[in-house]
Amino acid sequence: MKIKYTPAILGFALVVVISGCATAPEKPVEQAEPAPFVSDYPTRDRVEYVLNCVAQHGGLTYITQYACGCKIDKIAEKLNFAEYEAAKTFTYLTKGQTGDAAAAMRDPAQSKDLRKRLKEAEQSAEKTCFVK
């Protein structure tokens, strides 16, 4: 009767040893870095920006289309969409307005800061993307 169980016991012991009962500790699993944030700009707003930019720079050509697409990408690297949208809103609401009519949108510190950051981002993007 001992002979019947000996191969089974040896087989079980071999499986236990092979399956990971080693004396060397396992290496810790490295944490993967999170993917970099790309952009939170909606496609519709990107397309609208590119079309307006193309219209301001001489019409639709491959060069203006590429340069204007590059420009919005560079702006998106510097401002998130909420900041961009607020800056554009402040800019549109103060355009053509003078005196007290525009003061509510022009004078707050948030308005000045966002409009300044948008202007700097656009100027930097124009240089980087060769927008003429």
Q: What is the pLDDT of residues 7-30, one digit of tens each?
A: 656 555 555 555 555 555 566 666
Q: pLDDT band at residue 125, thresholds of 50, 70 and 90?
A: very high
Using left for φ > 0, alpha for ψ between -120 and 50, and beta otherwise, residue 31 falls in: beta
Number of Cβ within a 10 Å radius of residue 27: 6
What's the whole-number mean pLDDT along residues 91-109? 76
Coil vs helix vs strand at 32: coil
For residue 17, what are the CA distances in angstroms to 5, 20, 22, 27, 119? 18, 6, 7, 19, 67
Looking at residue 93, its pLDDT comes to: 82
pTM here is 0.65
The amino acid sitting at 71 is: K
